[in-house]
Amino acid sequence: MNQTAAATPNENSRFAGWFRRAARSSIDALPMHLPVRLGGSDIAQTKATPMRVLGFDQALLWVTMALVAWGLVMVYSASIALGDNPRFSRMNYSQSYFVLRHTLFLLIAFVAALLTFQVPMKTWERAAPWLFVASLLLLVAVLIPHVGRSVNGARRWIPLGFMSFQPSELAKLAMVLYAASYMVRKMEIKERFFRAVLPMGIAVVVVGMLLLAEPDMGAFMVIAIIAMGILFLGGVNARMFFVIAALVVVAFGMIVASSPWRRERIFAYLDPFGENNALGKGYQLSHSLIAIGRGEIFGVGLGGSVEKLHWLPEAHTDFLMAVIGEEFGLVGVLLAIALFLWLTRRIMHIGRQAIALDRVFSGLVAQGIGIWIGFQTFINMGVNLGALPTKGLTLPLMSFGGSAILMNLIAIAVVLRIDYENRVLMKGGRV
């Protein structure tokens, strides 16, 4: 006889009800969404978490504002004596001429950045190829006599009355957007070298030829690095990337070797205080090093720079970091490096966050802007500190220059828009 008693129907229903209640309580205890990082802090969104989250990265905005404000002060300090320079006696510059123009450029740039922030990234993705074509046409236009303006033998500017526009600055942003959209469109063939890389290579070569005709090798270097970085971050095969990098190094080596005055710059960089270089190609670098040496640890004080008094050319543009080093010393240089390092790292983080949300175009755009600002800052600081040969690249967000400031702040606004859309998606919204 079977001694095992069968469970009654009432007992079965009691066990089933107990399991359902236990499962329901366990599910209610789980968070509704995975933790996400917003503005550097972890936020686990649960039923009890309010949905109100800041709409943009305030830290990124404030660091940008700090660099812009510091740059405005330094432009005034570096340019205050230019009106007394015999070279500019016919210009009749006042002490506040450059700082007032820089303030005007900043106001225009902030309005443009505010308008840019309103543009969805989907619109940028559709417009990217057309913006790239427009930048090419402007690079051609600047070479046309009576259209482009020549300064010191370089034809890089288009006069617009209240300012001179530099198409190479627009070309940097256009390359970021075009390269990102290209990688999204060619994602399925990124393992095939010629079909994936060759069209982008042709685009970079065309831009490079136009820039070298100005000439503006510094902008060409930045644009080439932007394109390479986005190709790598977009998932191009590592072997392809190293082949591209080798070709780029060889190409730039040939450009330098084929140009006598570029070779002289390299020799001047190697020995800036030499007899043949100190008053020639090494003049700017030697006085930049003197300025930074005078600053020592804590600097000579704001406004106390001697090198800006007609000794260091372009102190308010390409060599603003040398004036910072003289007036604020090693402390000021390290602070500037730290701010730009944080800015670049934060922009790259926003890009990674967008890619994690399956927004590849937005992620590549943010990372491309991070590469642009980070690399150009590295080149400018390296030149001022004597670590790299002299190039005509300004310090982003800080140096005097209408086109550069305009495009830098528009680029930051695009990054803030990407971060805003990331946050909307993570809060369950739609963009």
Whether 26 is covered by a domain: the verdict is no
Average pLDDT value for residue range 207-232:
90
Average pLDDT value for residue range 267-290:
85
- Give just the sign of the alpha carbon dihedral 312, 318, 322, 325: positive
Q: Taking Cα atoms as reference points, which of 222, 178, 184 lies closest to residue 202?
A: 178
Angle, vertex CA 111, rays to CA 56 and CA 399, nearest 5: 90
Question: Which band of pLDDT confidence, cut at 50, 70 and 90, is reported for residue 187?
Answer: low
Whether 431 is covered by a domain: the verdict is no
Average pLDDT value for residue range 9-38:
44
Average pLDDT value for residue range 139-143:
93
Whether 327 is covered by a domain: the verdict is yes
Number of structural domains found in the chain:
1
Question: Which band of pLDDT confidence, cut at 50, 70 and 90, is reported for residue 397?
Answer: very high
Any idea what DSSP says for residue 215?
T
Average pLDDT value for residue range 21-37:
41
Single-letter amino acid, residue 417: R
Kind of pairing between the strands at 149-151 and 41-43: unpaired
Whether 11 is covered by a domain: the verdict is no
For residues 202 and 37, the model is more confident at 202
Q: Which domain holds residue 339?
A: 66-426
Whether 240 is covered by a domain: the verdict is yes
For residues 366 and 261, the model is more confident at 366
Whether 9 is covered by a domain: the verdict is no
Give residue for tokens 């005078």. 294
According to DSSP, the residues that pair with 41 across neighbouring strands are: 38
Give residue for tokens 């500017």. 157
Average pLDDT value for residue range 349-361:
95
Residue 18 reports pLDDT greater than 60: no
How far apart (Å, rounded) are the C-alpha atoms in residues 81 and 79?
6
CA-to-CA dists, residue 1 to 5, 6, 160, 335, angstroms: 11, 13, 105, 89
How far apart (Å, rounded) are the C-alpha atoms in residues 138 and 211?
11
Whether 39 is covered by a domain: the verdict is no
Question: Which band of pLDDT confidence, cut at 50, 70 and 90, is reported for residue 427?
Answer: confident
Q: Taking Cα atoms as reference points, which of 339, 401, 415 lies closest to residue 109?
A: 401
Whether 53 is covered by a domain: the verdict is no
